[in-house]
Chains A and B, each alone.
Chain A
Amino acid sequence: MFPFSFEWIWDMGHMVFMGGLWYALGIIGLGMTYVIIKTLQDTFGNGGGGDHH
């Protein structure tokens, strides 16, 4: 649920519950985005096929 949904109320319950959900999803989403971008850079950016061993 987002604040623009008609059911949304600006009370503590909605802010804490939905804020916590977005916070967790935000960290997961940003983390995965970082990993994918870095992998693309590592693989195709510097001549490709980087080896970390």
Chain B
Amino acid sequence: MDSALIPKGVKRCSLPVFLFGVGIVGVVLLWGVYAMLLCWLKGLNQTNMNDSYGFALWIWADLAVIAIGGGAFFSGFLKYILGIDELKNIINYAVLIGFICYSSALLILAIDVGQPLRSWFIFWHPNVHFMLTEVAFCLSCYFAVLTIEYIPLVLENRKLDEIPFIHNFTHNMHGIMAVFAATGVFLSCFHQGSLGGVSGVLYGRPFAFREHILVWPWTFFLYTWSAAACGPCFTILLTKILEKITGKKLVKDYVIDILAKISGIMISTYIIAKIIDTIYWAWVTAPSMGFNLMDFYSSEHSNPLYHGLWILLLEIVIGGIVPAVILISKKLRSNQKLLLTAVICGTMGVCLNRWVMVMQPMAMPVMPFDSWNLYLPSWQEWATTILPVAYGIILIAFSYRYLPIFPQEKELNPIEE
């Protein structure tokens, strides 16, 4: 029924099967939209946030999707700035994932501000001494860049491409894409960094506070570094998941290998820096503020299990060292099971890092008479956090069905006439 819209030379499932799959995810999407409307219409009393816990579940989700969406800017940097042309075979998908991640991040922020009609205040009445102002600026501009990068992909749809104006428009967009990609890299580096900076400057919360280089705390650089390192892991992971669902090979192994190798080098350098940062924080920074390392983790301080020392070890060892070792070795990353393990660990590691830097500082007591802040999200918070996942699945489904996302798909899956 919709075969005229499907790219030439590729096979897709029947329309009823497609709509059935999308319909199931659509129910989850509607659940999230209902919760979102509740938050907008009734206010943030629909959440379990309070004065102590102002950054809750969806802010962690926000930071996590921004980090794993970093594959878009870093792949763009590698292809358009460093000229690694082989990545043209996966860049469309990286852009799509980035577009989904950043639109989700903005959606979450629109729910979080509680009064989205006043979102423009950040541009007209900015607090120019606040890192989140820079984040808001860069996030909005980078989303515009991602939209510009995604538009040519949409316009390459078989039917749309037949219109001369659209065909020329797409061609000219591709011609100037390096400029947009470079702008995206600039914007990404700053908003990723400033998100980390927000935690690092909290001198009233020694768990998050870090030493500075000029005005930038260490977390500024670690956030950018980790997004560039682990973003490609998420791109590879979603490629593998889509290959599994469709039962097709969509990207040649050498393309994945290049991205995995670069990701491995980045994760290796990142995790060394992260370990140095953690050691310095534990031995110098925290003690200078009156805390020992185990004050943050000891069960004597009624430390809840989900804020235990195991999270630190999980983040650094399983989420950092393991993917670094696998991805940096040609022999190990050539093994598909180990490659999959590495990209899962890398993605998990960066998401966990955002959890540690956003949620744990809120929960930890900072005064001797304080106790742990315990927080359980309301169902509305869960629903609005799951909403972007459902939205992402639906957008990937439509994009894969109707757009030439994977240039190598036709060659890898020839259709017998």
Contacts and interface: CB of A to CB of B under 8 A. Distances in A.
Contacts of B138: 24
B129 interface: yes
B183 A28 contact: yes
A31 B171 CA distance: 14
A42 B172 contact: yes
Given A21-B141, A34-B176, A14 B168 contact: no
B168 A43 contact: yes
Contacts of A36: 169
Given A7-B125, A16-B128, 4 more contacts: A18-B126, A24-B183, A39-B172, A42-B172
Chain B: interface size category: 20 to 34
Contact of B144 (A1, A13, A28, A48): A28
B172 to A, nearest CB: 5
Contacts of B169: 35-36, 39
Chain A: interface size category: 20 to 34
Interface string B175-186: 010011001001
A35 B294 CA distance: 58
Contacts of B20: none
Given A1-B123, A31-B179, A17 B168 contact: no
Interface of B: 123-126, 128-129, 133-134, 137-138, 141, 144-145, 148, 164-165, 167-169, 171-173, 176, 179-180, 183, 186-187, 190
Contacts of A16: 128
Contact of B164 (A17, A20, A24, A48): A48
Contacts, number: 73
A27 to B, nearest CB: 5
Main secondary structure of the interface of A (DSSP, over half): helix
A18 B133 CA distance: 10
Main secondary structure of the interface of B (DSSP, over half): helix
Given A21-B137, A49-B164, A27 B183 contact: yes
B180 A28 contact: yes
B123 A32 contact: no
A32 B148 contact: yes
Contact of B168 (A18, A25, A42): A42
A50 B172 CA distance: 12
Given A28-B144, A42-B168, A35 B126 contact: no
B132 to A, nearest CB: 11
A35 B183 contact: no
Nearest to A37: B172
B113 to A, nearest CB: 18
Given A50-B168, A52-B168, A35 B173 contact: yes
B128 A13 contact: yes
Given A17-B134, A25-B141, A50-B164, A35 B128 contact: no
A43 B164 CA distance: 7
Interface string A1-30: 100010100010110111011001101100
Contact of B167 (A1, A27, A38, A52): A52
B309 to A, nearest CB: 39
